[in-house]
Amino acid sequence: MNTSPVQLPPPTHPTSPLTGQPILADAPARKSPEQIAEELLGFSPSCVDAAIRFYASGDFADFCVMLPGMIAFHLPRGAAASSTTLTDDLRLKEDIGLDSLALTEMAFKLDDLFGISIETRDVFGLETLGDLKAFLKQRCDSR
Amino acid sequence: MNTTVVITGLGFVTSIGHSRSAVSEALRSLTHGLAPWSAVAGADLTTKLAGVLRGFEVGSANPAAWSWPREFALDVSVARVMPPHGVYALAALQQALGEAQLPPGALGDGATGLYCASAGSPRTLHQHLSKLEASGWRRGHPHAVISSIAGALNFHLGALLGIRGASCGFVSACSSGSHALGFGMDEIRLGRQERMIVVAAEDLNAESALPFSGMGALSRASDPVLGSRPFDRGRDGFVPTGGAVAMVIESEASAVARGVRALAEMAGWGQASDGYHVAIPHPDGRGLSDAMRLALRDAAVPPKKIGYVNAHATSTPAGDRAEARALVEIFGPQGVPVSSTKALTGHGLSLAGLMEAAFCVLALDESFMPGQAHLSEPDEDSARLNLPRKTQFVQPGVVLNNSTGFGGSNVSHVFSATNHR
């Protein structure tokens, strides 16, 4: 019986199957207001302004100003109009028109822009806009 | 199988025009749509030409920055979740549905189907995979799959048009568009659908075109006249293009009941394979000659009745030679007038077969036969073909359209003028 200890390879970063290179999780660089505006091309000006303010301040009040424009951009074609005032009691799918794909796309955008880590499955259980806001506040606070 | 199938609508986003009238004029005057092209800004590449889509700016990684010619009233919220070729397809569909007098709301009757052809969007897939990889494979965009894989076109268009009948995508490389049309015709002849919307589209960007350079398939010419010259001794590969073509086909009874004019009749089609090589055609084009025989048999038309052939010839030596030999086998030396309109458009890959089928319909509806542009000196096989250099303004009566794709997949269609039965 061979009793010699098993030789483990030195720890490495995971490597990419595409490039063979290590995948390095570098800290993301700070974005300029111009970069944020470019990433939000096609969004309403008020949404872009609020996003830039939120990126700098982290103030959730700015986030809430940004949110209606974020929702409007991601609404599927033919969904309920977003021009009506969005109140916290509105249901995301039935009243606002955000289907699950739109909701996950919006979550992806928030992660991309602000580094707000959101598990896709977590947003599926949210029913109202108030639920979404509470969930996003919790995720923002835990960044 | 006795149902007569007619074409009632066409739509074009091509390098030679984005409307029926512009495309027709280019085919008549043999005006090409090739232009200097840099697939990657600042890179010194050997591929210097493409059949460009003028007025469409869909190169940005951010679809919100895309734009298109003003005449196309495309919904931004729809276009932004599609691959680049989806935008071309929306513009082509707008035209075809308009000509066929089919309002979008009328397509969910279950009697209307949708067949598409596209290779997907390697660019969109590349962008999404790069981002997924950069996240350590943890975080993928929700649209990564549905906006990029082969099938993205039929996924989006089927939902957008509210199709309740058949919907499917076809992937047989450069025969894909022709397969979509052929099987679409069968859906009607089998009585499963009253009409089919057939759409073929391809991106035009580095990811869609440059991989063909690794096979030595792309022309290195910088002069458009020398770049795409099917059947010419001096050809050195194909010039890539993208775009979209949409076609509405339906039973003659449906067209009559709706009071819509038939542009031409689709008389038959056939397919056969080389059984030879994954990328190189059989030297004698044996699969293609079989496909032509089967299409002629399906249409009940003898070879001598064919008035014009739109050849697949892409301007590659092996492909053109094989097709020339197959054409001589079916039609004899110096037989039917032949031209490859890829001299004008470039090679549209999955788009090519449907694009050229639509050119055949224009030729029948408007009584002309496009000449062979950019041909200076045919090689020894091509010299046995009847290759008129100029467009002839006569009614061809019955025409045949050829397509071939990787794996030796070959498709031929036969169309006839509506007054030529």
B179 noted as active-site residue: no
pLDDT value, residue B2: 82
Q: Do A41 and B133 touch (CB under 8 A)?
A: no
Architecture per CATH, A33-141 = Orthogonal Bundle (1.10)
**Chain A residue whose CA is closest to B61:** A39
Domains of chain A: which residue ranges?
33-141
The reported pLDDT for the residue numbered A11 is 44
Of residues A15 and B297, more confidence is placed in B297
User: What mean pLDDT is predicted for residues B373-386?
Assistant: 97
Q: How confident is the model at residue A2 (pLDDT cuts 50, 70, 90)?
A: very low
Q: Which of B356, B386, B409 is nearest to B172 (CA)?
A: B409
- Domain containing B85 equals 5-416
> Residue B263 — very low, low, confident or very high, per pLDDT cuts 50/70/90?
very high
Round to whole Å and give the CA distance between B90 and B11. 10
Tell me: pLDDT of A96 over 60: yes
The phi and psi torsions of B73 (rounded to 5 degrees) equal -90, 75
**SS3 annotation, chain B:** CCCCEEEEEEEEEECCECCHHHHHHHHHHCCCCEEECCCCCCCCCCCCEEECCCCCECCCCCHHHCECCCCCCCCHHHHCCCCHHHHHHHHHHHHHHHHCCCCHHHCCCCCEEEEEECCCCHHHHHHHHHHHHHCCCCCCCCCCCCCCCCCHHHHHHHHHHCCCCCEEEECCHHHHHHHHHHHHHHHHHCCCCCEEEEEEEECCCHHHHHHHHHHCCECCCCCHHHHCCCCECCCCCECEECEEEEEEEEEHHHHHHHCCCCCEEEEEEEEEECCCCCCCCCCCCHHHHHHHHHHHHHHCCCHHHCCEEECCCCCCHHHHHHHHHHHHHHHCCCCCEEECCHHHHCECHHHHHHHHHHHHHHHHHHCCECCCCCCCCECCCHHHCECCCCCECCCCCEEEEEEEECCCEEEEEEEECCCCC
Q: Are B165 and B113 in contact (CB under 8 A)?
A: yes
Count of residues for chain A? 143
A15 touching B (Cβ < 8 Å): no
Please check whether residue A16 touches B, CB under 8 A: yes
Q: What angle do CA B167, B3, B304 make, to 5 degrees?
A: 110
| B347 has catalytic annotation | yes
Nearest chain B Cα distance for residue A3, angstroms = 37
- Does any CB of chain B come closer than 8 Å to the CB of residue A23? yes
d(C-alpha B207, C-alpha B144), whole Å: 16
Distance, in angstroms, between B80 CA and closest chain A CA?
10
**Domain for residue B56, yes or no?**
yes
CB count in 10 Å sphere of residue B394: 13
Mean pLDDT across chain A, nearest whole number?
A: 82
CA-closest candidate to residue B405, choices B305, B287, B258: B287
SS3 of residue A57 by DSSP: helix
> Dihedral angle at the C-alpha atoms of B348, B353, B354, B355, nearest 10 degrees?
50
The count of other CB atoms within 10 Å of the CB of residue B105 is 9
Active-site residue among B18, B85, B156, B174?
Answer: B174
Whether pTM exceeds 0.90: yes
Q: Do A23 and B133 touch (CB under 8 A)?
A: yes
The answer on pLDDT for A48 being more than 90 is yes
Distances (CA, A) of B276 to B283, B325, B350: 9, 16, 21
Is B288 domain-assigned?
A: yes
pLDDT of residue A121: 82
In angstroms, the separation between the Cα of residue A42 and the nearest Cα of chain B is 6
B123-155 pLDDT, tens digit per residue, is 999 999 999 999 899 889 999 999 999 999 999
What band does A14 get if pLDDT is binned at 50, 70 and 90? low
Q: How far apart are CA B89 and CA B247, in angstroms?
A: 11
Is B126 touching A (CB cutoff 8 A)?
no
The token pair at B229 is 């010259």
DSSP state of A95: I
How distant is the Cα of B136 from the closest Cα of chain A, in angstroms? 6
The predicted structure's pLDDT at residue A19: 54
> B203-230 as b/e, with b when 16 or more CB fall inside 10 Å?
bbbbbbbbebbeeebbbebeebebbbbb
Instruction: Name chain B contacts of A25, Cβ cutoff 8 Å.
Output: 136
B421 is a domain residue: no
Which residues from chain B sit within 8 angstroms of residue A108, using beta carbons? Answer: 139, 141-142
The nearest alpha carbon in chain B to A121 belongs to B142
Mean pLDDT over B172-178 rounds to: 97
DSSP code, position A16: -
Q: Is B360 a catalytic residue?
A: no
Quick check: A124 contacting B, CB < 8 Å? Answer: no
Is residue B203 in some structural domain?
Answer: yes
Q: Would you state the pLDDT for residue A27?
A: 54
pLDDT of residue B188: 98
User: Which residues from B are below 8 Å from A18, CB to CB?
Assistant: 129, 133
pLDDT of residue A117: 86
Q: Could you tell me whether strands B112-117 and B167-170 are parallel, antiparallel, or unpaired per DSSP bridges?
A: parallel
B80 and chain A in contact, CB less than 8 A: yes
Q: Are B79 and B133 in contact (CB under 8 A)?
A: no
d(CA B399, CA B415): 5
Contact B330, B304 (CB under 8 A): no
Tell me if B64 and A41 make a contact (CB, 8 A cut-off): yes
Question: What chain B residue is nearest to A77 in terms of C-alpha separation?
Answer: B77
The number of distinct structural domains making up chain B is 1
Gap from B61 CA to chain A (nearest CA, Å): 10
pLDDT digits (tens, 9 = 90+) for A50-83: 999 999 999 999 999 999 999 999 998 766 555 5
Q: Residue B266's pLDDT band (boundaries 50, 70, 90)? A: very high
Other CB atoms within 10 Å distance of the CB of residue B37 = 19
Determine the Cα–Cα distance for residues B310 and A62; give it in Å rounded to an integer.
61
Residues of B in contact with A76 (CB under 8 A): 77
**Chain A contact set for B137 (CB, 8 A):** 23
Distance CA(B282)–CA(B217), nearest Å, equals 16
Over the stretch B107-128, which tens digit does the pLDDT of each residue have? 999 999 999 999 999 999 999 9
DSSP string for A66-82:
HHHHHHHHHPPTTPPPS
For position A126, what pLDDT does the model report?
92
For residues B243 and A142, the model is more confident at B243
Kindly state whether B149 is in contact with chain A, defined as any CB-CB distance less than 8 angstroms: no
What is the rounded CA–CA span in Å between residue B391 and residue B135? 56
Residue B68 has pLDDT above 90, yes or no: yes
> What was the pLDDT predicted at A3?
47
**Catalytic position from the list B282, B347, B374, B413:** B347
List the single residue in B80, B136, B139 with the smallest CB-CB distance to A14: B136
Lowest mean pLDDT among A79-88, B18-27, B150-159: A79-88
Tens of pLDDT, residues B393-417: 999 999 999 999 999 999 999 999 9
Q: Hey, what are B4's tokens?
A: 């007569």
CA distance B19 to B95: 8
- Would you call A109 helix, strand, or coil by DSSP? helix
pLDDT above 70 covers a percentage of chain B that reads 100
- Percent of chain A residues topping a pLDDT of 90: 59
Structure tokens at A2: 């061979």
Is there a domain that residue B370 lies in? yes
C-alpha–C-alpha distance, residues B83 and A99, integer Å: 21
Closest CA to B204 of B72, B344, B93, B350: B350
Domain annotation covers residue B69: yes
CATH of the domain at B153: 3.40.47.10
Query: How many Cα atoms within 13 Å fall on the side-chain side of residue B344?
Result: 29
Mutate to test the interface with A, among B81, B146, B157 (most CBs of A within 10 A): B81
Kindly report the average pLDDT of chain B as a whole number. 96
Q: In angstroms, rounded to a whole number, what is the distance separating the alpha carbons of residues B126 and B122?
A: 6
Catalytic, out of B32, B128, B179, B312:
B312
Q: Other C-beta atoms within 10 Å of B271: how many?
A: 21
Residue of chain B with shortest Cα separation from A119: B139
pLDDT at B321 over 50: yes
Residue whose tokens read 């490859």: B340
